C-alpha cells in the first residue's frame, strides 16, 4: 500500500491507496507554524492501527515553497555569480546579498580568469556575519566546466546550512535562468527543510521505515533525501498533484481543462488526450524565470476562503486569504460563506456566514441572497476567464506535452474536470456557464494526495561532449569521461541514457527498465583554419512522468 500526503496552505490531505483504490482518506487544517502536528494528525487518521510493514512507500506533495514565493516570504539568501566577457551579471541581481566575482570560464569550458580566493573568503565572512545561512553559486558556463563553482563552494565557510552550485540544478545554458533557479533553491531551503523534518519525524513515530518521495513540478517524484539538495523541485508540487490526480479520469480522445479549487488558490492545467502539457523552459513564478522543469499549470489567488470585499462599489475576490470562512470561525466573508447563504453547505455556523455576506450586501445595495449569488458567479466566471487566457497563451506557441511537440496544434478543451473541497458546488454552476462537459473527479476532496501517491519517479540528465577537447560531461551528475575524436551522436545518446538509468536508481526508483526518452539533442562542428577540428554535442534525456499502472482500483473512471 502507498500513502499519499498533500500539505497545502489551507489543508493537509492524506490517502491510503491499495490495489483496489483509496482505502482511507483524511483532511486536517494545515498550521504552517506547527507543521509536525498537521502532518501527524493526517497520518493518524489515515493509518489508524494499520501495520507499518504493509506500506511500500510514502509520496508527498506540498505548496509550502510555492506559497513562500507567492506571498513574498522567502528566506534571505546569498548569491555569488561569476561571468567574464558578455552581459553584466548585475542585470540579473536577485537582491541585496548578490555578489559578482572574479573568475570566468569560456563557452568551451576553458578557464579565462582564475577564481580570487581572498575575494570569496571575504564574501563568506560578510554573509556569515549577517546571519545568511543559504547560498547559490553560479558561473556563466559552469555547465561546460563546473570547476569554478566547485572551487567557490569549497572556499565558503562550511558552517552554512546550504550551498548550491548552479550546474547541479540544471544542465541548460541559460545564465539568467540558472541564477534565478539557484536563488530560489537557496531561498526556499529552510521552509522545505522544516517540511522534511516534520514528515520524517511523523513517520518515525508511526514506525514507518519505507522509501519516502516528494512530488516534483514535472509530475514525477524524487526521494525525500534528494529533495533536500534540490528543494526548488518542490515548487508547484501542489498543482502537479492536481494534474496527476485527474489523469486517470480524463478523456483519452478529447482535451481536458483541469480545475483544482482549493481554499487559497485555484490551480488549472490542460490535458491533451489524457497527457499533461509541459513547460519546456521552466517555471516562471514570483517574477523569477527558472530552469525548474514543470508541467504547464496556472494558479490564481481565488479559492473558497478568498477574502471578499467591496472596493469603490465593485465586488472583489482575493487574492488574499485572511483565514477560514466566517462560518468556520474566520474573520472575513468568503465564497464559502456565500455557499452557506445559498443553502449549498450546512456544516458550519450559518448565522456567522450570513452576517459576513450581509456586510457585502449592504455595500452593494442588494439583498444578502443576491450578494451571495454575485460572489459565487464572479468566482466561477473569474476562473473561466483565467482558463481562457491560459489556453490562448498555450496556443500562441508550439504545444509541448510530456511525450512530444505538437507543432501547429490548437488546444480546444471540450470537458472540465473539477477537484478540490468545493468541487461539486462549482461544477454545478460551471455547467450553466459553459458549453463544456463538466465532471467531478472521484474522491475530489483528496484527489491531490491520491495523485501524489500514484506518480512514478522521473529524472533527467544533460550530457555535453567536446570531441576536440576529448571530454564528455554531465555536470549535474558530477560525471566526466574521456572520449575519442570519432565519438558521435549515437554514442552520446547511449551514454546519456546509461547515466539516466543509474541516476534513476540512485534517487530511489525500483523501475528495472524505466521508460526513457531523448527530449533534446544538437551538435555542431568546430572549425579552425577552415578545417573541422571536432564536434560539440548536447543531449538531454528523461524518464517520462506518469502514474503507476498496478493500482487499477484508483483509475477506474467515475
| Mean per-residue pLDDT, 63-67 | 79
- Higher-confidence residue of 364 and 279: namely 364
> Are 66 and 238 spatial neighbours (Cβ–Cβ below 8 Å)?
yes
CATH, range 2-71+191-239: 3.30.420.40
Residue 472: name the closest of 409, 536, 424 by CA. Answer: 536
pLDDT over 90 at 455, yes or no = no
Give how far the C-alpha of residue 478 lies from the chain's centroid of Cα atoms, to the nearest Å: 24
Q: What is the average pLDDT score of the chain?
A: 87
- Rounded CA gap, 270 and 132, in Å? 40
pLDDT over 50 at 118, yes or no = yes
* Structure confidence at residue 510 (pLDDT): 65
pLDDT over 60 at 140, yes or no = yes
pLDDT over 80 at 30, yes or no = yes
| Mean per-residue pLDDT, 190-213 | 84
* Structure confidence at residue 522 (pLDDT): 77
Instruction: Measure CA of the first residue to CA of the last residue in the chain; give whole Å.
Output: 22
DSSP 313: T
pLDDT over 70 at 187, yes or no = yes
Question: From the CB of residue 435, how many other CB atoms can be counted at a distance below 10 Å?
Answer: 6
- Higher-confidence residue of 213 and 476: namely 213
- Higher-confidence residue of 128 and 37: namely 128
| Mean per-residue pLDDT, 357-370 | 95
* Structure confidence at residue 321 (pLDDT): 83
Of 31-45, 143-157, 544-558, give the lowest mean pLDDT range.
544-558
Of 48-57, 293-302, 348-357, 450-459, give the lowest mean pLDDT range.
48-57
pLDDT over 70 at 394, yes or no = yes
Q: Determine the longest span between alpha carbons in the chain, in angstroms.
A: 85
The C-alpha cell at 148 is 569554478
CA distances from 144 to 469, 525, 539 (A): 11, 16, 13
* Structure confidence at residue 550 (pLDDT): 66
Q: What is the pTM of this model?
A: 0.80
Coil, helix or strand at residue 212: strand
pLDDT over 90 at 120, yes or no = yes
pLDDT tens-digit map of 229-265: 889 988 888 889 989 999 889 989 999 999 999 888 8
Dump the DSSP string for 476-491. GGTEEEE--TT--HHH
Question: From the CB of residue 157, how many other CB atoms can be counted at a distance below 10 Å?
Answer: 13
- Rounded CA gap, 97 and 78, in Å? 5
pLDDT tens-digit map of 143-182: 878 889 999 999 997 889 999 999 888 877 889 999 999 9
Of 126-135, 137-146, 307-316, 415-424, give the lowest mean pLDDT range.
137-146
* Structure confidence at residue 556 (pLDDT): 42
Q: 490542460: which residue's cell?
A: 270
| Mean per-residue pLDDT, 491-499 | 94
pLDDT tens-digit map of 19-29: 888 888 998 88
Peptide bond preceding 319 in cis form (omega within 30 of 0): yes
Dump the DSSP string for 373-392. HHHHHHHHHHHHHHHHHHHH
pLDDT tens-digit map of 318-354: 888 888 899 999 999 999 999 999 999 888 999 999 9
* Structure confidence at residue 508 (pLDDT): 65
Q: 513562500: which residue's cell?
A: 68
Of 64-73, 216-225, 411-420, 524-533, give the lowest mean pLDDT range.
524-533
- Rounded CA gap, 190 and 179, in Å? 19
* Structure confidence at residue 122 (pLDDT): 94
Strand 255-261 relative to strand 98-101, pairing: unpaired
Give the model's confidence band at 460: pLDDT under 50 very low, under 70 low, under 90 confident, else very high: confident
Strand segments, DSSP code E, in 301-430 are 308-311, 314-317, 399-400, 405-406, 415-419
Give me the helix-helix angle, 237-246 and 447-454, nearest 10°. Answer: 90
- Rounded CA gap, 53 and 456, in Å? 21
* Structure confidence at residue 46 (pLDDT): 87
| Mean per-residue pLDDT, 86-103 | 90
Give the residues across from 455 on adjacent strands.
547
Give every CB contact of residue 218 below 8 A, 6+ residues apart in sequence.
240, 278, 293, 294, 295, 402, 458, 545
* Structure confidence at residue 552 (pLDDT): 52
* Structure confidence at residue 79 (pLDDT): 96
The C-alpha cell at 24 is 482511507
Architecture of domain 252-442: 2-Layer Sandwich (3.30)
Q: 501527524: which residue's cell?
A: 40
The C-alpha cell at 546 is 506518469
pLDDT over 90 at 357, yes or no = yes
pLDDT over 50 at 557, yes or no = no
- Higher-confidence residue of 492 and 536: namely 492
Q: Residue 206: phi, psi to the nearest 5?
A: -80, -5
| CA atoms in the 13 A half-sphere facing the CB of 241 | 35
pLDDT over 50 at 395, yes or no = yes
Residue 430: name the closest of 443, 441, 442, 440 by CA. Answer: 440
pLDDT over 60 at 529, yes or no = no
DSSP 349: -
State percent of the chain over pLDDT 90.
Answer: 40
pLDDT over 60 at 125, yes or no = yes
- The percent of the chain in helix, strand and coil, each rounded to the nearest 5, is 35, 30, 35
* Structure confidence at residue 511 (pLDDT): 66
* Structure confidence at residue 389 (pLDDT): 93
> Are 539 and 520 spatial neighbours (Cβ–Cβ below 8 Å)?
yes
Coil, helix or strand at residue 410: coil
DSSP 544: P
State percent of the chain over pLDDT 70.
Answer: 93
Give how far the C-alpha of residue 197 lies from the chain's centroid of Cα atoms, to the nearest Å: 19
Coil, helix or strand at residue 16: strand
* Structure confidence at residue 402 (pLDDT): 58
Amino acid at each position: 500500500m502507498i500513502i499519499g500526503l498533500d500539505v497545502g496552505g489551507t489543508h493537509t490531505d492524506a490517502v491510503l491507496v491499495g490495489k483496489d483504490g483509496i482505502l482511507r482518506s483524511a483532511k486536517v487544517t494545515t498550521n504552517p507554524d506547527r507543521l509536525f502536528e498537521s502532518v501527524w494528525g493526517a497520518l493518524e487518521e489515515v493509518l489508524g492501527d494499520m501495520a507499518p510493514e504493509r506500506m511500500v512507500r510514502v509520496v508527498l506533495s506540498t505548496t509550502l515553497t510555492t506559497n513562500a514565493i507567492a506571498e513574498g516570504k522567502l528566506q534571505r539568501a546569498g548569491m555569488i555569480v561569476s561571468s567574464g566577457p558578455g552581459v553584466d551579471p548585475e542585470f540579473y541581481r536577485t537582491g541585496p546579498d548578490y555578489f559578482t566575482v572574479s573568475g570566468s570560464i569560456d563557452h568551451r569550458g576553458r578557464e579565462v580568469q582564475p577564481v580570487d580566493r581572498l575575494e570569496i573568503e571575504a564574501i563568506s565572512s560578510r554573509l556569515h556575519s549577517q546571519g545568511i545561512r543559504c547560498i547559490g553559486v553560479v558561473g556563466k558556463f559552469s555547465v561546460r566546466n563546473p570547476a569554478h563553482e566547485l572551487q567557490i563552494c569549497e572556499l565558503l565557510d562550511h558552517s552554512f546550512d546550504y550551498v548550491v552550485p548552479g550546474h547541479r540544478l540544471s544542465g541548460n545554458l541559460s545564465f539568467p535562468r540558472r541564477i534565478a533557479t539557484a536563488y530560489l533553491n537557496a531561498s526556499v531551503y529552510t521552509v522545505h527543510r522544516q517540511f522534511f523534518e516534520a514528515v520524517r519525524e511523523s513517520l518515525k513515530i508511526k514506525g514507518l521505515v519505507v522509501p519516502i518521495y516528494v512530488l516534483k513540478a514535472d509530475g514525477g517524484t524524487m526521494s525525500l533525501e534528494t529533495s533536500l539538495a534540490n528543494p526548488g523541485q518542490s515548487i508547484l508540487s501542489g498543482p502537479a498533484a492536481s494534474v496527476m490526480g485527474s489523469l486517470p479520469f480524463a478523456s483519452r480522445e478529447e482535451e481536458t481543462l483541469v480545475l483544482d479549487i482549493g481554499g487559497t488558490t485555484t490551480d488549472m492545467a490542460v490535458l491533451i488526450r489524457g497527457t499533461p502539457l509541459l513547460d519546456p523552459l521552466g517555471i516562471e513564478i514570483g517574477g523569477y524565470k527558472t530552469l525548474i522543469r514543470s508541467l504547464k499549470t496556472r494558479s490564481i489567488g481565488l479559492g473558497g476562503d478568498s477574502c471578499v470585499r467591496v472596493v469603490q462599489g465593485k465586488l472583489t475576490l482575493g487574492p488574499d486569504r485572511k483565514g477560514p470562512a466566517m462560518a468556520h470561525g474566520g474573520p472575513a466573508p468568503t465564497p464559502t460563506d456565500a455557499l452557506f447563504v445559498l443553502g449549498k453547505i450546512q456544516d458550519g455556523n450559518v448565522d456567522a456566514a450570513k452576517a459576513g455576506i450581509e456586510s457585502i450586501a449592504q455595500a452593494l445595495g442588494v439583498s444578502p441572497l443576491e450578494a451571495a449569488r454575485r460572489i459565487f458567479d464572479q468566482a466561477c466566471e473569474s476562473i473561466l476567464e483565467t482558463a481562457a487566457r491560459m489556453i490562448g497563451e498555450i496556443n500562441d506557441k508550439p504545444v509541448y506535452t510530456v511525450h512530444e511537440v505538437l507543432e501547429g496544434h490548437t488546444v480546444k478543451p471540450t470537458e472540465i474536470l473539477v477537484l478540490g473541497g468545493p468541487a461539486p458546488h462549482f461544477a454545478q454552476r460551471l455547467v450553466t456557464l459553459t458549453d463544456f462537459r463538466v465532471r467531478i473527479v472521484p474522491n475530489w476532496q483528496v484527489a491531490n494526495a491520491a495523485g501524489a501517491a500514484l506518480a512514478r519517479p522521473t529524472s533527467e540528465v544533460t550530457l555535453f561532449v567536446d570531441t576536440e577537447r576529448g571530454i564528455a560531461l554531465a555536470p549535474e551528475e558530477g560525471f566526466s569521461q574521456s572520449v575519442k575524436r570519432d565519438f558521435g551522436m549515437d554514442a552520446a545518446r547511449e551514454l546519456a541514457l546509461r547515466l539516466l538509468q543509474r541516476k534513476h536508481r540512485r534517487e530511489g526508483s525500483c523501475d528495472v527498465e524505466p521508460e526513457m526518452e531523448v527530449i533534446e539533442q544538437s551538435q555542431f562542428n568546430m572549425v579552425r583554419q577552415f578545417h573541422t577540428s571536432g564536434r560539440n554535442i548536447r543531449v538531454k534525456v528523461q524518464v517520462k512522468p506518469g502514474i503507476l499502472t498496478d493500482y487499477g482500483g484508483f483509475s477506474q473512471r467515475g
